[in-house]
Structure 1
Amino acid sequence: MWLPGNTGVYLPQDDTALLIDAMLLAPIPRGARVLDIGTGSGALARAAADCGAAEVTALDVSWRALAAAFVNTRLSGRRVRLRHGDIRKCLPGRHFDVVLANPPYVPCGRGAPGRHSPARAWDAGPDGRAVLDPLCDRAPGLLSPKGMMLMVHSTLCDPEKTLVRLRDGGLKAAVVARARCPFGPVMSSRADWLERAGLIEPGQRDEELVVIRADRTR
């Protein structure tokens, strides 16, 4: 059961499902400490708890999202620690066995969304990497020895840049899952701009999603 869409919180879609499938295949070690970055509705946090994680921390910059995550995880009987903040600044000194991330990655031609705008859940600058790059830089410091991160985003954001940035941080990184999906409401609403920006082909109305796994090997 999930709170209805009129809460203004990004609800689980194809990217969430792809990331959960990758998490189940990984899998999460029983008793792991898990961090869900940009938890939104709490779908990933709940799935991690269902998989036997000993501790799940759900992080988001939106108080509204955290309220939704609280309700959705409690409805399932799962206890999740909720944290408000930006991953670029919070959780200093904390390390996790598994980090899950479905960050904002949709390219946009306008400025950063306001604090109370639902678009904070998806808008990520002209190339879609406004959150991806800082997250890649922070990843090595978030992972415990032998820890792993699973992150989903669109190929419109250039997965190779993600892989290079993670590897430059000393992590082993690879694409572990792919899926071609039709545009959802957000991508459909800006398809004309994406065409003008050269990010999609004329008439293209689908995108490829990827899950990238990054491992700290020591």
Structure 2
Amino acid sequence: MPQHDSYLLVRTLQLTGLAHRARALDLCTGSGVVAVAAAEFGADSVMAYDICPRAVRCARTNARTAGVEVSVRQGSWRGALDCAPFDLVTANPPYVPSPGIGHPIPAAGGPERSWNGGVNGRVVLDPLCQSATSLLRRGGTMLLVQSALADPLRSVGILRESGLAVQIAAVRSIPFGPVLWACSGWLEETGRIGRGCRTEQILVIRADKL
């Protein structure tokens, strides 16, 4: 089921009008909700990637149900580099800081690879930001959603260092979901959140290749 971050990304996509006539790519597509939205918002073509076979099946089904054409591929987002460049790249990668061994996360949090971003939440974010300029054609845009817990300023810095123009396109505060609730004690112990904090800020970062 799509979460708040996916809907924030869809809303940003709608408000910017970036999908219109675009060759679009959706990374870590999950249910495919963002890829389907890109097609509905007028993209000329939409490609989507996810490493999880179940997510790929789900995204394909949702695209068929919506009556739109989305080419959904199983594999790491790195496979999309062979198909670049794109006018539009949307991404909702795993970004939740995770304590790892000794701090089990309940099944209610969903498949771990869909949210686990490593101890700092940046296992996928760092290489994805470093590759953004290679994924985009000149004039293209990436919309990347992540948590404030995963150091968005680092994402902004990496994207700018690669020559992209960067801004924060959207921000929203949301209550903790099952994963962050399960991690909340560890997040407090390590100073990542204040005592008793149970809200998370999510952001959409926009990066333009001028």
Q: TM-score under structure 1 normalisation?
A: 0.90
Deviations 1:1-20 (A, max 9, x none): xxxxxxxxxx2111111111
Query: How does 1:43-192 map onto structure 2 within 5 Å?
Result: 43-110=33-100, 118-192=111-185
Secondary structure of 2:123's partner? coil
User: In the alignment, what sits opposite 1:4?
Assistant: none
Q: 1:198 aligns with which of 160, 167, 191?
A: 191
The Cα shift of 1:40 comes to 0.3
The Cα shift of 1:90 comes to 4.4
Unaligned runs of 5+ in 2: 105-109
User: In the alignment, what sits opposite 1:13?
Assistant: 3
More helix as a share of residues: 2
Q: 2:204 aligns with which of 208, 211, 214?
A: 211
Amino acid at match of 2:40: D
Amino acid at match of 1:52: G
Separation (CA, whole Å) in 2 of partners of 1:161 and 1:71: 35
Amino acid at match of 1:120: R
Amino acid at match of 1:14: H
Unaligned runs of 5+ in 1: 1-10
Does the 8 Å contact 1:176/1:210 carry over to 2?
yes
What count of residue pairs does the alignment treat as equivalent? 203
Quick one: percent identity of the two aligned structures? 45
The Cα shift of 1:109 comes to 1.0
Does the 8 Å contact 1:88/1:134 carry over to 2?
no
Separation (CA, whole Å) in 2 of partners of 1:158 and 1:184: 19
Cα RMSD (Å): 1.5
Amino acid at match of 1:147: G
Separation (CA, whole Å) in 2 of partners of 1:180 and 1:65: 26
The Cα shift of 1:91 comes to 3.3
Amino acid at match of 2:156: L
Does the 8 Å contact 2:146/2:203 carry over to 1?
yes
Q: TM-score under structure 2 normalisation?
A: 0.93
Deviations 1:164-215 (A, max 9, x none): 0001111111111100100011111111111112110011000111110000
